[in-house]
């Protein structure tokens, strides 16, 4: 009854080291569902990277970035470095409940002047990065707000300035240059930049132009999921029923359109199966494909993420909570109960029952 993420361990670990090697100062990101692996596993793997880096004289994973304050607990006991929280600190909620025993390991992201004052009042030795607003317009301070911080930044430990750039739409360098200029204008007592979503050549260029700065690239997807060939997702066939045209099946008492088999397979809405997460692909073709799938839905069966015999199969009805029903037309090779079949999922939106690393 399991939806399993199979990881080719040696290949995956080689990939992690390769990314670390070409990304000096790398800060792994572990947030949300842990990119399918789960936060605890990524925390342990970050420790492994940090140890390997330290042995080779590099800083890989001396800092691990998590998304929210609530995620600190999941990584803190499995990893002993610093923990950067990407969600900006606010004077309410989970940010105020950080375990005092962990306080010195946490690096806060501060995105508003008033928050910095309040944070330093509550925790005078707080470690923090100042987030600058980028063209994403999510969180962050403007150049003017940064200059207005004045002597505040001499208190606590300012660990650098952070920028969260949008996914690449042309080069980010001129924007980064402007943001760094804002930071220099504010005369901040730091020379560290925390950046994300820069291409390798952009990072190289940045390191050349700002070799008096320390660059800390935050990497999530490209690190953990960058080598898709090392990852394979399977579901199990739980039941197989032969049907004739007109046979009734399922919660909604649908009828089979023609003869074939109805399969019950592991994986349902609880795992994220059947939920549409927007794919990164924004091309016209991808949008047309989405429309076409919607069209199928209207007349009958919808294409599922499960493949049998190298072909993506149709849902016989919408996925259940932990299992799904597929329709296999007559003439296809029918798998046995217990067989494993391939599933294509969005890793960041899937909860696996099991992760098996070889």
- Specify whether the CB–CB gap between 332 and 306 falls below 8 A: no
**Given the rule CB under 8 A, which of 145-153, 256-264, 293-301, 333-341 is the region that contacts another protein?**
145-153
Comparing CB distances to another protein, the nearer of 99 and 121 is: 121
- Rounded-to-integer distance, Cα 299 and Cα 266, Å: 25
**One symbol per residue from 319 to 338: x for binding another protein (CB under 8 A), - otherwise; what is it?**
--------------------
Comparing CB distances to another protein, the nearer of 9 and 148 is: 148
The answer to whether residue 154 forms part of the interface with another protein (CB under 8 A) is: no
**Given the rule CB under 8 A, which of 60-68, 174-182, 215-223, 225-233 is the region that contacts another protein?**
174-182
The tokens describing 70, both together, are 């609530």
The answer to whether residue 147 forms part of the interface with another protein (CB under 8 A) is: yes
Identify the bridge partners of residue 141 per DSSP, sorted by sequence position.
Answer: 132
# residues near another protein by CB under 8 A: 20
**Given the rule CB under 8 A, which of 70-78, 79-87, 142-150, 163-171 is the region that contacts another protein?**
142-150
Grouping H, G, I as helix, E, B as strand and the rest as coil, residue 314 is strand
- Rounded-to-integer distance, Cα 30 and Cα 16, Å: 14
The answer to whether residue 178 forms part of the interface with another protein (CB under 8 A) is: yes
Give how far Cα 102 sits from Cα of 63, 239, 260, Å: 14, 48, 58
Q: How far is the CB of 129 from another protein (least distance, A)?
A: 19
The tokens describing 238, both together, are 């739980």
The answer to whether residue 135 forms part of the interface with another protein (CB under 8 A) is: no
Which position among 187, 244, 276, 356 is part of the footprint of another protein (CB under 8 A)? 187
Kindly state the helix (H) or strand (E) to which residue 357 belongs, with its residue range. Answer: strand 354-357
Burial of 147: CB neighbours in 10 Å, binned 0-12, 13-18, 19+: middle
Which position among 6, 52, 67, 210 is part of the footprint of another protein (CB under 8 A)? 210
**Given the rule CB under 8 A, which of 185-193, 214-222, 299-307, 349-357 is the region that contacts another protein?**
185-193
The DSSP letter of residue 141 is B
The answer to whether residue 208 forms part of the interface with another protein (CB under 8 A) is: yes
Helices within the chain (DSSP H only) = 9-22, 39-55, 72-76, 113-122, 143-147, 173-185, 200-209, 221-224, 284-299
Q: How far is the CB of 136 from another protein (least distance, A)?
A: 17
Point out which residues bind another protein (CB under 8 A).
Answer: 142-144, 147-150, 178, 181-187, 208-212
């Amino acid at each position: 009854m399991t939806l399993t993420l199979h990881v080719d361990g040696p290949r995956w670990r080689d990939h992690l080291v390769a990314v670390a090697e070409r990304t000096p100062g790398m800060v792994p990101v572990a947030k949300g569902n842990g990119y399918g692996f789960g936060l605890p596993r990524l925390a342990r793997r970050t420790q492994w990277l940090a140890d390997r880096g330290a042995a080779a004289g590099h800083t890989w994973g001396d800092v691990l970035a998590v998304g929210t304050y609530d995620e600190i607990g999941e990584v803190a006991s499995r990893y002993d470095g610093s923990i950067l929280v990407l969600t900006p600190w606010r004077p309410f909620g989970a940010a105020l409940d950080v375990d005092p025993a962990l306080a010195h390991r946490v690096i806060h992201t501060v995105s508003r002047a008033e928050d910095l004052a309040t944070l330093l009042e509550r925790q005078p030795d707080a470690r923090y990065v100042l987030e600058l607003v980028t063209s994403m317009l999510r969180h962050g301070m403007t150049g003017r707000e940064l200059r207005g911080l004045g002597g505040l930044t001499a208190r606590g430990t300012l660990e650098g300035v952070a920028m969260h750039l949008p996914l690449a739409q042309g080069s980010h360098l001129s924007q980064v240059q402007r943001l760094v200029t804002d930071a220099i204008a504010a005369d901040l007592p730091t020379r560290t930049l925390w950046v994300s979503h820069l291409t390798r050549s952009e990072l190289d260029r940045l390191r050349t132009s700002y070799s008096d700065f320390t660059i800390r690239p935050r990497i999530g997807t490209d690190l953990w999921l960058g080598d898709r060939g090392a990852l394979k997702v399977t579901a199990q066939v739980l039941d197989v029923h032969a049907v004739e045209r007109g046979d009734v099946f399922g919660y909604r008492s649908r009828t089979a359109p023609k003869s074939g088999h109805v399969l019950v397979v592991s994986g349902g809405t609880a795992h994220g199966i059947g939920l549409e997460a927007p794919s990164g692909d924004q091309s016209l073709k991808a949008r047309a494909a989405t429309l076409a799938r919607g069209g199928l839905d209207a007349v009958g069966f919808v294409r599922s993420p499960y493949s049998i015999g190298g072909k993506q199969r149709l849902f016989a009805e919408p996925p259940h909570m932990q299992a799904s029903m597929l329709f296999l037309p007559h003439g296809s090779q029918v798998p046995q109960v217990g067989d494993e079949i391939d599933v294509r999922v969005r890793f960041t939106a899937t909860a696996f029952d099991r992760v098996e690393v070889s």
